C-alpha cells in the first residue's frame, strides 16, 4: 500500500512538473507596436535600456525524434518603454509576435572595457566656451589609447585657441590603474607664435566599467593658463549614460570663467561611444555664454 502511494505521489509530482511552463518569457498582451512581457524589474528589466528578443521554435530531429529548440532573432536592441515589478512593455514595431508566445530575452553585451582592462582605440574630443563680447575658448584633441593590466597610455595631438594666440601641441599621458581608480599625468610640448613651449596636466578617476564615476582633470596651456573640471555620472548598459561636468578656465587678459555642462554618453554600437555635453559659461551673473563638449571613443 505504501509503495503504491509513493508511486502515485511520484507520478503526481512528475505530472505537475511536466505541466509547468518552459523556461523563458511570454508575451502577455499586444497593443500595436507595444508588447507586454512577464519580464519585470525583479528579473532585471530597466526602463530605457535595450534587450534583444528571440523567438523559440521547437523542431523534431528527423532521425532520432529528439525535440530540439532553436532561437530566431526578432529584434535587436528593443527599447524597454516601462518596467514594473513583474511585467514590462517593450517596443516591437515590425515583429511577428502573438499573445502567449514564448520568447527569450538577452541584454546586449557591453564591450566597452573598464578603464583598467586591456583595450586599444582612438579618442577625439573638443570643447567650446563663449562669453559676452569676443571672449571665446576652444580645445580639440585626437589621440590613440592603449592599456594593459595596471598601465596605459594615451598619445596624440591637440590645439588650444584663446582668441589671441593658439597653441599647437603633441601630448603623452601615461596612466596607472588600481582597481576602480586611475591616475595619469601628461606633458604637452608644442609651439606658439613665439616659439616652442611646454604645457602639462593630469587626471584622476574613481569608477571603472559600469556604475557611477567621479573624475577630475587639470591642464596648463602656455597661451591660456590653467583650466580644470570635475565630472560625475554613471555608465549604464543601455544607450544613455548621464553625466554632469563643472569646470573652470583662465581667460587671457581677463578673469577666469566657470562652466556647467550636462549631457550623456551614447553607446552607438559595441565599439563606438559618443559623449555630448552642453551648458553655460559664466564670468559673473551678467556675463554668461555657451559651453559645449563633444567627444568620441572608438575601440578596436
User: Between 6 and 280, where is the model more confident?
Assistant: 280
| 116-121 average pLDDT score | 74
Q: What percent of the chain has pLDDT over 70?
A: 83
Give me the chain's average pLDDT, please. 82
Is the CB of residue 56 less than 8 Å from the CB of residue 102?
yes
Q: In this predicted structure, what is the pLDDT of residue 253?
A: 62
**pTM recorded for the entire structure:** 0.61
Q: What are the structural domains of the chain?
A: 24-106 (2.40.10.410), 119-299 (2.40.160.40)
Distance CA 186, CA 201 (A): 5
For 238-250, the pLDDT digits (tens) are: 778 899 999 988 7
Look up cell 589621440; give the residue.
143
CB of 8 closer than 8 Å to CB of 16: no
Taking only the tens place, the pLDDT of each residue in 141-150 is 999 999 887 8
- 222 and 167 in contact (C-beta within 8 Å)? yes
> Can you spell out the DSSP letters for the chain?
-HHHHHHHHHHHHHHHHHHSPPSSEEEEEEETTEEEES--GGGT--TT-EEEEEEEEEEE-TTT--EEEEEEEEEEEEEEEEE-SS-EEEE-TT----TT-EEEEEPPP--PPPTTS-EEEEEEEEEEEE-STT-EEEEEEEEEEEEETTEEEEEEEEEEE-SS-EEEEEEEEEEEEETTEEEEEEEEEEEETTEEEEEEEEEEEE--SSEEEEEEEEEEETTTEEEEEEEEEEE-SSSEEEEEEEEEE--TTS--EEEEEEEEEEE-SSSEEEEEEEEEEEEETTEEEEEEEEEEEEE-
Strand partners, 114: none
Q: Please say if the pLDDT value at position 6 is more than 50.
A: no
State how far the Cα of 88 lies from the Cα of 41, in Å rounded to an integer: 8
How would residue 252 be classed by pLDDT, with cut points 50, 70 and 90? low
On whether the CB atoms of residues 13 and 5 are closer than 8 A, the answer is no
Residue 46 has pLDDT above 70, yes or no: yes
Note the pLDDT tens digit of each residue in 201-235: 999 998 766 678 999 999 999 888 899 999 999 88
Query: Per mean pLDDT, which of 107-111, 175-179, 220-224, 249-253 is the most reliable?
Result: 220-224
131 or 83, which is more confident?
A: 83
Predicted local distance difference test score (pLDDT) of residue 11: 38
Over residues 28-39, mean pLDDT: 90
Inform me whether the pLDDT recorded for 19 exceeds 70: no
The pLDDT of residue 125 is 95
The CA-CA-CA angle for residues 149, 152, 155, to 5°, reads 160
- For residues 131-153, average pLDDT: 84
User: Backbone dihedral region of 220: left (phi > 0), alpha (psi from -120 to 50 degrees) or beta?
Assistant: beta
Greater confidence (13 vs 295) lies with: 295
| Whether 129 contacts 161, CB under 8 Å | no
What is the length of the chain?
A: 300
**Between 87 and 118, residue with greater pLDDT:** 87
Show the cell assigned to 290.
555657451
CA angle 165, 158, 217 (to 5 degrees): 95
Give the β-pairing of 88-91 and 67-83.
antiparallel
Amino acid at each position: 500500500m505504501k509503495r503504491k502511494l509513493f508511486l502515485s505521489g511520484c507520478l503526481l509530482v512528475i505530472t505537475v512538473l511536466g505541466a509547468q511552463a518552459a523556461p523563458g518569457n511570454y508575451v502577455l498582451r499586444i497593443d500595436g507596436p507595444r508588447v507586454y512581457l512577464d519580464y519585470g524589474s525583479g528579473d532585471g528589466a530597466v526602463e530605457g535600456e535595450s534587450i534583444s528578443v528571440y523567438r523559440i521554435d521547437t523542431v523534431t530531429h528527423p532521425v532520432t525524434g529528439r525535440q530540439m529548440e532553436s532561437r530566431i532573432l526578432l529584434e535587436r536592441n528593443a527599447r524597454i518603454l516601462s518596467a514594473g515589478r513583474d511585467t514590462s512593455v517593450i517596443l516591437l514595431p515590425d515583429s511577428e509576435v502573438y499573445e502567449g508566445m514564448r520568447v527569450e530575452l538577452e541584454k546586449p553585451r557591453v564591450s566597452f572595457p573598464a578603464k583598467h582592462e586591456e583595450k586599444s582605440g582612438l579618442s577625439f574630443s573638443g570643447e567650446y566656451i563663449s562669453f559676452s563680447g569676443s571672449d571665446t575658448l576652444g580645445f580639440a584633441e585626437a589621440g590613440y589609447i592603449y592599456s594593459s593590466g595596471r598601465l596605459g597610455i594615451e598619445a596624440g595631438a591637440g590645439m588650444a585657441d584663446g582668441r589671441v594666440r593658439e597653441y599647437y601641441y603633441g601630448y603623452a599621458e601615461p596612466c596607472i590603474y588600481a582597481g576602480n581608480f586611475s591616475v595619469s599625468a601628461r606633458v604637452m610640448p608644442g609651439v606658439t607664435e613665439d616659439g616652442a613651449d611646454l604645457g602639462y596636466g593630469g587626471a584622476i578617476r574613481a569608477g571603472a566599467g559600469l556604475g557611477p564615476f567621479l573624475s577630475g582633470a587639470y591642464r596648463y596651456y602656455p597661451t591660456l593658463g590653467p583650466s580644470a573640471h570635475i565630472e560625475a555620472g554613471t555608465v549604464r548598459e543601455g544607450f544613455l549614460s548621464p553625466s554632469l561636468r563643472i569646470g573652470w578656465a583662465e581667460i587671457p587678459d581677463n578673469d577666469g570663467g566657470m562652466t556647467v555642462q550636462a549631457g550623456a554618453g551614447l553607446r552607438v554600437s559595441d565599439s563606438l561611444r559618443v559623449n555630448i555635453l552642453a551648458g553655460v559659461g559664466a564670468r559673473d551673473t551678467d556675463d554668461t555664454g555657451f559651453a559645449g563638449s563633444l567627444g568620441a571613443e572608438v575601440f578596436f
